[in-house]
Amino acid sequence: TASGKESPLTSNSALVPCNGSKVEKSSGNLSYDWAYGASPLAERPELKDRVSVTANGALLINRFSGKDHGKYTCRVRDGNSVVEEVTVDVDDKYRLLAEVCHPSGCISAEKCDSPSETRTSCLLDGEVCCSVVREDAKHRCGHFLGECMKSCTQEIQVLQADDCEEGTTCCVLVY
C-alpha cells in the first residue's frame, strides 16, 4: 500500500509470475532464474533469504515491502539454452491477498512457534491460524512451502509430508 503498511486484505508476501509468450510452447523441462536489476537474487543479501521460485517459475517474495519494488527479470531455460527473458516491474499489485487462514497453517495452538501468531481462528474445526509452525509439528507439504510432485529435480529437497497423494513426494526448492 502507499503508506508501506499492509491492508487487512493483503498479505506480507508477493507472487510474481514469469509469463512469457515462448514459455508455454517449450518442452516442459524448464528451469527459472530470477534477478533484481542486473544481479541474480542469490547475490542480493536483502532478498536471497526471502525468495523462492514455484514449480511454474513464479517468484514468491516473503516479507514484501516497498523496498522490494523494482524491475525483476525471469530467465527461462530449456536445458542449457535460454528460451526467454521476461522483465516485470514489481509493486504492490503483486502482493498476495490475505486468506482468513490457509489450511496448511491451521493447527492446534501448541504447535505454533510463538503465541503471538495464534490469534487468528481458522474456519477448520476451531483450530488457530499460525504463520510459523514449529519444526517438530510440520507434516504438510504447505508447511515446508513445497509442492506435491511425481519427482523432484536435483536442486530440490525431498521431504516427508502427510498430505501428498500416493506416488508423489513433497518437493521444496533449497538455496
Cell numbers found for residue 168: 508423489
Residues 6+ apart with CB under 8 A from 36: 44, 47, 70, 71, 72
| Stated pTM of the model | 0.52
* CATH numbers and ranges of domains, the chain: 10-97 (2.60.40.10), 103-173 (no CATH)
Each residue of 107-145: pLDDT tens digit?
A: 666 666 654 444 455 544 555 566 566 666 667 777 677
Each residue of 90-108: pLDDT tens digit?
A: 998 888 755 545 555 566 6
